[in-house]
Amino acid sequence: MNPDFVIIGQLRREYLLPPFGLPRLDAPGGNVLYAAGGLGVWESRIGLVARVGEDYPQEWLRALEARGWDLRGVRLLPGPLDQRFFLAWSEDLRPSRSGAVSHFVQRGLPFPKSLLGFQPQSDTLTAQSQPDPVSPLPADLPLDYLDVKAIHLCALEAVTQQRFLEQLGRAVQVITVDPPGSLMAPTFQRQVRSLVNGITAFFPSLEEITALFWGETNDPWEMAAAVGEWGCELVVIKCGECGQLVYDAVSKRRWEIGAYPARVADPTGVGDAFCGGFLAGYLKNYDPVEAALYGNVSASLAIEGSGPFYALDAMPGLAQRRLEALREWGVKRC
């Protein structure tokens, strides 16, 4: 069956040193999988749009298909493609994507040979016109994906996100976007204005939206209202352990959503998991608060373990119980 939801993003070969627990070395990762994992807590008919090289492990793709996910949007490129991604977390939850060798030495771990020669890609690419070779292009989107209920664009370089939005047009009812961090700067406000115009929801972190309006205002609600005036229906500011701020640009209403008090094991991909969960919740009854609660629960499950599939293995009924608890105490009208 065709998917109801589509996630567009990157597939990566993940080298992860979490703040606690064992490392994940050459394991499936990428924002498209973390977002799909958050969505998969609630929904199963999911399509992925991404790219892989011939050297990407085929057994990983077969495992995704075994979950029932539609991979017709995953394009196999001829030849190898460097999809390695390295991330190390300190115990105080500070991330680092550089100095891979030193991080392994500090932890007394042997450096994996498969990570030799790895160079982290500069974030500045996301604000430039050159697409990342790992990022999908609109041509990779199966035509029948335009008939799905909702599409989420993970954080990709701005030019790629803009091309997808031009391709999607008004064909898809619900479109949500997670911005690339390097785009969120005052010099790129014009590009952000173009990016959010006509979409359903925009998901910057508090740090990102603060950087976008640096020197103009320190009030996150003023920032959200400004983005809403650029043509975006909902602005959802991800505030980490403090939860989310939700602004409805149509009704001018706003809410604070408290984070579910989860046990922190690994923050990798938690923001993506929230976006996936939000998409599932929003399609229930188009209520932004309910959507944020769904995303909040997906994030709470994802942060308690490592890897994009951890939330999918949660105890049956746990997600629903957390959702009901958050409905009781997690929402504050502002």
Which tens digit of pLDDT belongs to each residue from 244-288? 999 999 999 999 999 999 999 999 999 999 999 999 999 999 999
Asked if residue 20 is part of any domain, the answer here is: no
Taking a C-beta distance cutoff of 8 angstroms, is the pair 204, 223 a contact? no
Asked if residue 117 is part of any domain, the answer here is: no
Q: Where does residue 79 fall: left (phi above 0), alpha (psi -120 to 50 degrees), or beta otherwise?
A: left
Domain count, the chain: 1
Q: Give the pairing type, strands 174-177 and 150-153.
A: parallel
pLDDT on residue 24: 96
Whole-model pTM: value is 0.96
Asked if residue 281 is part of any domain, the answer here is: yes
Asked if residue 249 is part of any domain, the answer here is: yes
List pLDDT tens digits, range 148-190.
Answer: 999 999 999 999 999 999 999 878 999 999 999 989 999 999 9
Mean pLDDT for 65-94 is 96
Asked if residue 88 is part of any domain, the answer here is: no
List pLDDT tens digits, range 35-61.
Answer: 999 999 999 999 999 999 999 999 999
Mean pLDDT for 187-197 is 96
Residue identified by tokens 């105080």 is: 92
d(CA 31, CA 49): 11
Asked if residue 110 is part of any domain, the answer here is: no
Asked if residue 93 is part of any domain, the answer here is: no
Q: Give the pairing type, strands 234-238 and 12-17.
A: unpaired
224: CATH:
3.40.1190.20
Give the DSSP letter of residue 155. S
Size of the chain in residues: 334
Which of 20, 22, 21, 26 lies closest to 90, judged by CA? 20
d(CA 179, CA 197): 13
Asked if residue 109 is part of any domain, the answer here is: no
List pLDDT tens digits, range 106-140.
Answer: 999 999 999 999 988 765 444 555 789 999 999 99
pLDDT on residue 263: 94
Domain that holds residue 314: 5-12+32-81+130-333
